[in-house]
Amino acid sequence: MTTPAATAATGATAESSPDGAFPNPAYAWYVVFVIFLGYMFAFIDRIIVGILTPAIQADLGITDTQSGLLQGLAFALFYTVFGIPLGWLTDRWNRKWLMTIGMTVWSGMTAFCGLANGFGLLFFARLGVGMGEGSLNPCATSLISDYFPPRTRPRAFGIYVMGTALGTGLTYLIGGLLLKWLAERGGLDIPGFGHLKTWQAVFVLIGVPGLIPALLFAFTVREPVRREVATKGARASVSDIRAFMRSNRGTLFCHHAGIALVLMTVYGFVNWMPTFFLRVHAWQPQQFAITYGTYGMVAGIFSAFSSGWLATWLKDRGYIDGTFLALIIGCAGCVIGGTIAPLMPTPEAALWVYILTGVFANYPSVAGLSAIAEVVPNEMRGIITSIYIMLTGLLSSGIGPFAVGFVTDAVFGDKAAVGSSMVVVSLITGVPGVLLLIIGRKSFRDSLARATWITKSA
């Protein structure tokens, strides 16, 4: 008889079925919705600091380089450092509880950012946000792969990544409205916390609601059976993982490094857009946030849906590497838009280019995670995803925003040149990233041919 303790340790649950069938589709889509909700709050917590940068700089007197550290490296450092052990745990422990703990940590640390009164404490709080979010993608990739058969996975990943679209849109829309409302009030008095300045109150009001998906995950989500296992015993050894990575090194390198370089472009302009519009076009952060949030959210939702649809459409028409091809198309769109937008002569033109770029912004995440699920067996998806997240985290969310701030301070020496810095970062990171993906397409097809493991219950 299987005990509760053994169930938690192995990840097996009553969700098993004798024939190894996938879970009920309606329930599977509900689970994706809860994961999507968590990802939405995670992305809000991740990028809200970009809107608050002007207010934080004015209050704490920090530089653009320090702001880039808060936006990027402070988050990405623990996001990537903790991602490897959390990915290892994903392949071996109960993913439901690992995700629940992660959601609780990143939401709590976002609220804690609102108590910071200096750069050091704010940097520490952002480290905590990254530590919690380190559990997200390894768990989500593994869970979605066990809830959905291969054909419908790209659409499921599209719903999941739609959390970034809504998260980005709501960050700007709700963040802008909160900034406006709190500025009119002169901050906010919260029982137990005292008086909080405008930017501090935003962190608290954004962080606390993130506990809602954590509670839903804890009380309504079941741990699914692990399927598509290639290793006897359903536990990959270090030598198994090394052998897999060695035989698929071309695919993994081009996939991981290519997406990471492209996302440096995306995170660079996403985090610095409010400051760019303030310095170059004299738009206040709340004005830009409300305008971009409304239209950008629609573009991002379309991006999340269309990316999964395009991958499936291409495969139905004979492109066995349709997922990877969709990835290349989306990444090229991100780089082109991210390079052109800061060069536009008017704020309206720049805004619309950024909105159109948002049509492609979720392709790297949706197609990137779907590609991992296609070529990596179940017992290695957590660790391979965490390695992917480590690279994308350090380069994209870690160095991308920092690079823009550093180029502005050290190369141009002019705060009004932030747009030029965004263009420079896009060119030196995005273009090589797209080229790597194009080169890696053949390797991906070869990896697909080797993915012959049998779908089964573990």
Domain harbouring 350, CATH code: 1.20.1250.20
Q: How far, in Å, CA of 104 to CA of 41, rounded?
A: 11
Domain span holding position 164: 22-222+238-449
Which burial class, exposed, middle or buried, applies to 131 when counting CB atoms under 10 A from its CB (0-12, 13-18, 19+)?
buried
Structure-block tokens of residue 44: 């809000």
Q: How far, in Å, CA of 77 to CA of 35, rounded?
A: 23
Q: Is residue 230 part of a domain?
A: no
pLDDT at residue 232 in the model = 58
∠ Cα 83 146 297 (to 5°):
65
Using only the alpha carbons of the chain, give its radius of gyration.
Answer: 21
Q: Is residue 9 part of a domain?
A: no
Q: Is residue 17 part of a domain?
A: no
pLDDT at residue 233 in the model = 54
pTM for this entry? 0.70
Q: Is residue 205 part of a domain?
A: yes
Q: Taking the chain, what is the end-to-end CA distance rounded to the nearest angstrom?
A: 16
Q: Is residue 12 part of a domain?
A: no
Q: How far, in Å, CA of 396 to CA of 30, rounded?
A: 30
Give the pLDDT of the chain (458 residues) as one tens digit per residue: 333 333 333 333 333 343 457 888 899 999 999 999 999 888 888 778 877 888 888 888 888 878 877 776 777 777 777 777 888 888 888 889 999 999 999 899 998 888 888 888 888 888 888 888 888 888 888 898 888 887 788 888 888 877 877 777 777 777 778 887 888 787 788 777 778 888 888 888 888 888 999 999 999 998 888 876 765 556 778 888 889 999 999 999 999 999 999 999 998 888 788 889 989 898 887 778 777 777 877 888 888 788 888 988 998 888 999 999 999 999 999 999 999 999 999 999 999 999 999 899 889 888 888 888 888 887 888 888 888 877 887 777 778 888 888 899 888 888 889 999 999 999 999 999 999 999 999 999 999 988 776 443 33
Neighbour count for residue 243 (Cβ, 10 Å): 12
CA-wise closest residue to 430 among 260, 277, 283: 260
Q: Is residue 384 part of a domain?
A: yes
Q: Is residue 227 part of a domain?
A: no
C-alpha dihedral (69, 70, 73, 78), degrees to nearest 10: 150
CA-wise closest residue to 74 among 47, 101, 98: 47
Q: Is residue 387 part of a domain?
A: yes
Letter for the amino acid at 311?
A: A
CA-wise closest residue to 320 among 447, 207, 229: 447
Number of domains in the chain: 1
Say if residues 203 and 355 touch (Cβ distance below 8 Å): no
